[in-house]
Chain A
């Protein structure tokens, strides 16, 4: 039915199967849309946030997806600036993931703020001392850069390529890509950092407050480096997931190895700096403000295990795996380590938002808990559903992985049955089989 839109030389599932695959995601999208409507139309009392827990799951997950979406800027930086040509195999996917993560985060932010129609006020009378101003400016600009980077992927569509002007436009845009990659790297450096700075400047929360390096708190730099570590890992995981769902080999092994190595290098730098930062904070910053650091870990929910898990289990351990070429060559270890890296970033963002707000500052305040409402969960599920739908549509109608045709040529030529396992892939589990049932390329 939609064969005329599908790129030549690649196989995609039938239109019916594709619709079936999209159906549950559209259902999730609808529930999320209803939750968003409730919050926008009636007020944020539909959430479980309150005056003490003024930031909740939305900010925590926004920070997480923005860190995970850092693959877009970092892969672009490595490809166009450092000239690691191998990464052209995943740059399109990285851009789509980045676009989904950033646009999703901005969408949730628009629900999270009480007066979204006043968002432009930040541009009109900005407070240049606020980290949030920096975040708003860079996030908006970078979203535009991502949209520009996404355009050539869409224009690569078979039908759109028939329009000569689009071809010229795409050609010209490609020539400018290194410029956009540079701008993207510049903007990402600032907003990833400022997101860390958001918490590092909180003098009222000695748990989060950090010493300044220049004009930024140390969390500024830690967020940049951790995002650069998590981005490539998330690109690896998403690419692998697409490979398993579609049961195709989409990128060559050397690409995974390079991404793993880059992620490992950035992660080991992050773990080192994070450890130094934590030691300074424990021994100087926090006690200097009259708050012995060990007291933060006396509450049952957030013991020292959280610090150990964040730095050692989800930091040092995957870093060592990713840095060793022998361990990295084992695919289970490679993707396992990438998964741990992403979990580590998630835990770090959780600690910075939720743990910071849960811990009391006033001497008579108690430790507080917070559980998100269904509206908060559904609104974020909306973003996930939106992301899956956008990625699925782009994958189906555009050439997301340039190596796909080459790697699946023999497969297509021999007309192998689609349900035969593809070379180099693991046997799928039950959940994966169900996903394949809908997404299978036949």
Chain B
């Protein structure tokens, strides 16, 4: 019997910070796609659920030389020594060997938040309260994504539901290979500036792999050795230098949008 070898993907993205205008469309699209409940009035930047979090970072220079860059940050999908993976006591974090995607199993999560403590990007979020949708909003919930309950951790998974849909489509066509056009996460799709490029980093001819190898591309906290699969790109030197620094240069420099 002839068997087709399964293709090894390594999904990743490159976010062009020079293109990002900080509009937040990616964050909204992410929340809608993944059934993240709307925030309550007491929610703030520290306790809300923002799988995709956009942060404004200033250059720290005085006017008129001051510049601002917006950094959309989701789970960085660490490939090596994944900090959240090894710490979870009950295997609620896993890495799909076929896609490289770091997944979270909310149904198994104890809510100990050790993974959140371990994540250097603060890209993991805890359900501090029961998710609540106002009347009528439940009709727009994505039927392919299970809402999470109170007391569990959640995070970006490169839109798992879309990956499943793409797999199903490929299977229906008798193929084991995904069509890149079929698997596009919500944030990538929604970005009006096309600042986010997504795809298979294992395919050297893919736009994402070409961009990731670009001399202006970099990873945040690359020196920790966790090999994040989310790259950033900027032609501005101060932005690349900022990513290399170990701390904020000035207090004014850091500003959470």
Contact = CB atoms under 8 A, between A and B. Distances in A.
B71 interface: yes
Interface string A35-65: 0000000111100011111110000000000
A204 B89 contact: no
Contacts of B55: 364
A249 to B, nearest CB: 45
A368 B46 CA distance: 10
Contact of B89 (A49, A54, A136, A295): A136
B224 A43 contact: no
A119 B110 CA distance: 6
A193 to B, nearest CB: 16
A227 interface: no
Interface stretch (A125-133, A260-268, A430-438): A125-133
Contacts of B88: 127, 130, 132
Interface residues of A, number: 50
Contacts of B112: 112-114, 132
**What are the nearest 4 A-B pairs in CB distance?**
A114-B111, A114-B151, A204-B120, A290-B223
Interface stretch (B18-26, B28-36, B242-250): B242-250
A5 B71 CA distance: 69
Interface residues of B, number: 59
Contact of B113 (A114, A136, A203, A368): A114
Among A43, A44, A126, max chain B CB count under 10 A is at: A44
Contact of A203 (B57, B83, B244): B83
A291 to B, nearest CB: 5
A361 B118 CA distance: 11
A129 B86 contact: yes
A202 B117 contact: yes
A365 B254 contact: yes
A272 B86 CA distance: 30
Contacts of B118: 201-205
Nearest to A291: B246
B51 to A, nearest CB: 11
Contact of A363 (B46, B129, B245, B256): B245
Contacts of B124: 51
Contacts of A205: 117-118, 120
The SS class assigned to the B binding surface is loop
Interface string A136-179: 10000000000000000000000000000000000000000000
A1 interface: no
A314 interface: no
Contacts of B153: 114
A81 interface: no
A55 B112 CA distance: 9
A204 B122 CA distance: 10
Contacts of B224: 203-204, 206, 289-290
26 contacts: A44-B126, A51-B46, A51-B47, A53-B46, A112-B112, A114-B111, A115-B110, A115-B149, A122-B110, A126-B90, A127-B91, A130-B87, A198-B87, A198-B114, A201-B118, A203-B118, A203-B226, A204-B83, A204-B118, A361-B221, A362-B221, A363-B220, A363-B244, A364-B57, A364-B71, A366-B251
Contacts of B111: 113-115, 118
B253 A290 contact: no
A44 to B, nearest CB: 5
Contact of B117 (A55, A119, A133, A365): A55
A45 B243 CA distance: 33
Interface of A: 42-45, 49-55, 112-115, 118-119, 121-122, 124-127, 129-133, 136, 198, 201-206, 289-292, 295, 357, 360-366, 368
Contacts of A368: 46
Given A130-B114, A361-B120, 10 more contacts: A53-B46, A54-B113, A114-B110, A118-B108, A125-B90, A126-B89, A127-B90, A201-B86, A203-B225, A366-B256
Contacts of A366: 248, 251, 254, 256
Interface string B97-125: 00000000000111111101111111011
Contacts of B152: 114-115
A114 B108 CA distance: 12
B151 to A, nearest CB: 3
Contacts of A118: 90, 108-111
Contacts of B149: 115
B81 A114 contact: no
Contacts of A42: 129
Contacts of A50: 44, 46-47, 128
Nearest to A364: B57
Interface string B187-226: 0000000000000000000000000000000001101111
